[in-house]
Amino acid sequence: MSKTAFIFPGQGSQAVGMGKDLFDNFSISREVFEEADDALGFSLSEMCFSGTAEDLALTSNTQPAILTVSVAAFRAMVSEGFPIPDFVAGHSLGEYSALVAAGAVNFTDAVKTVRKRGTYMQNAVPFGVGAMAAILGLPLETVEITCEEAKQGQVCNAANINSPSQVVIAGNTEAIDRAIEILKERGAKRAIKLNVSAPFHCALMLPAQEKLAADLQEIDFKDLTVPIIENFSAESNVKGERVRTALTEQVSKPVRWAQSVENLIVEEVKTFVEVGAGRVLSGLVKQINRDVRILNVENSTSLKEALNNL
């Protein structure tokens, strides 16, 4: 029996206008946006639907916005009769969306926490001190060896292991610049700096991780209704008590996305449904395995198409 996984996007999938169609077409999605606005004390929905791209790109705004759109899409799917998935997974911030979908944490707690998470991550490193770069066309091993060489006493490591041919690195700006030069010499198809506000998923995020850990202690995590594949371990979990560790560790540790998807395929997942804004994860899953089926749900049209194709 082939299985299904719902996968939830992280930062970088945002776009002005996201979620508006869900808000207009599904009362249950509208309630999610209203709940987010109430929890945060400002109109996140207005920012998503008609704000500026600059405001939406601020990490402290991006994270709750993407979470809200993902949960709005997920709840619309459930209301329209989507079968419960066999697994859930999310990319970085998307892990929170996956946990809401699996019943481990309530949406209000999640949206307040990711708002703080975004603020902590943005403020952990002074602007310009850290950087991230996407490396295309080289194996992980080459990237990791190069990061070690480029460190020279600074931070430089693989941050997002997205697919066999795409690794994002993070660390001090000078170390990232050194790594880019070496990786180009070693045959990278592309090695380009990313337009991000902070160097996520590296040791420079430890101050943010400590602050977030304290907030996570205040949340009551329940056992999951379906297993999640964690970012930091790429392993399956259903225990609420382990969620706190997973969410703490993933702030400064690499996102093992390629391994997560490969492990889902080993578990006989044949259909991946990307839930929320954009199709970033759909593209990555395609790079990892061309034989699986990939659907996405970000508005009423794609929801109907996905339901018909299931």
Structure tokens at 204: 């420079």
Active site residue 91: no
Active site residue 92: yes
Radius of gyration of the chain (CA): 18
Q: For residues 197 and 183, what is the distance between their CA atoms, to the nearest angstrom?
A: 23
At 131 the three-state DSSP class reads strand
Question: Of 45, 60, 70, 92, which is the active-site residue?
Answer: 92
Question: Of 70, 201, 252, 260, which is the active-site residue?
Answer: 201
Find all residues with CB under 8 Å of 162, minimum gap 6, and list them. 168, 255, 257, 258, 284, 287
Contact by Cβ (8 Å): 48, 36: no
The residue type of 266 is V
Q: What is the dihedral of CA 47, 251, 266, 97, to 10 degrees?
A: -30
Work out whether strand 269-275 and strand 293-297 pair parallel, antiparallel, or are unpaired: parallel
Report the catalytic residues: 92, 201
